[in-house]
């Protein structure tokens, strides 16, 4: 014979203990799922933030290539972004090359006459805003035709390129030198506090060009 004694208090303790264990298990599962969601969200957001930073850098003109690993939606989006950056950068380079060809004298590398009016307008606006002076000078080479006639046009081109090199060396970065055509050049000297400054620069130009 086996005598079984049931105690209501003991049964209630067992029930409370089981409930507590179930509570711990549920809390643990909730904590783990929350941590997993946080880690997954962080991983996804980190990729999106990296993509956003790449877009911002590319908008500033920087070359951007993001790591493209995996086969999920974010990886495919990143690969598409890299392809878009490459295509736009190629188009930008072509546009810059075309603009350089359209605005630059092919022989001397100076700005050509097509750029004279737009650039002069921009420098005049800068002078107005800064309350400074702008000097415009016209330069023509004396005795250039006999060089072409006696030594040939190839030697004349050498002279023009050397004159352009000396002009670039003489003027400051914010000044502009144009080849108007033939042996004619236009000099735009900006950011002047006094007209005497431009006269000193032009005297230096004459000395530089007269040098052998």
Q: Which are the catalytic amino acids?
A: 183
Report the 10 Å Cβ neighbour count for 82.
Answer: 16
Paired with 198 in beta bridges are none
The C-alpha atoms of residue 65 and residue 83 are separated, in whole angstroms, by 9
**CB distance 135 to 198 below 8 Å:** yes
């Amino acid at each position: 014979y086996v005598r079984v004694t049931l105690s209501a208090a003991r049964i209630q303790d067992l029930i409370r203990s089981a409930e507590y264990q179930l509570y711990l298990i549920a809390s643990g599962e909730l904590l783990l799922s929350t941590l997993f969601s946080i880690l997954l969200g962080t991983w996804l957001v980190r990729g999106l933030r990296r993509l956003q930073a790449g877009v911002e850098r590319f908008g500033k003109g920087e070359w951007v290539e993001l790591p493209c690993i995996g086969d999920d939606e974010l990886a495919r989006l990143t690969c598409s972004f890299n392809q878009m950056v490459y295509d736009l950068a190629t188009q930008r380079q072509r546009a810059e090359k075309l603009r350089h060809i359209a605005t630059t004298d092919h022989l001397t590398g100076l700005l050509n006459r097509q750029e004279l009016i737009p650039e002069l307008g921009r420098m005049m606006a800068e002078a107005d805003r800064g309350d400074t002076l702008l000097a415009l000078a016209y330069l023509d080479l004396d005795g250039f035709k006999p060089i072409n006639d006696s030594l040939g046009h190839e030697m004349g081109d050498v002279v023009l390129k050397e004159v352009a090199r000396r002009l670039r060396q003489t003027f400051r970065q914010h000044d502009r030198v144009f080849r108007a055509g033939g042996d004619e050049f236009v000099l735009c000297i900006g950011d002047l506090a006094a007209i005497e400054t431009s006269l000193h620069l032009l005297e230096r130009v004459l000395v530089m060009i007269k040098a052998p």
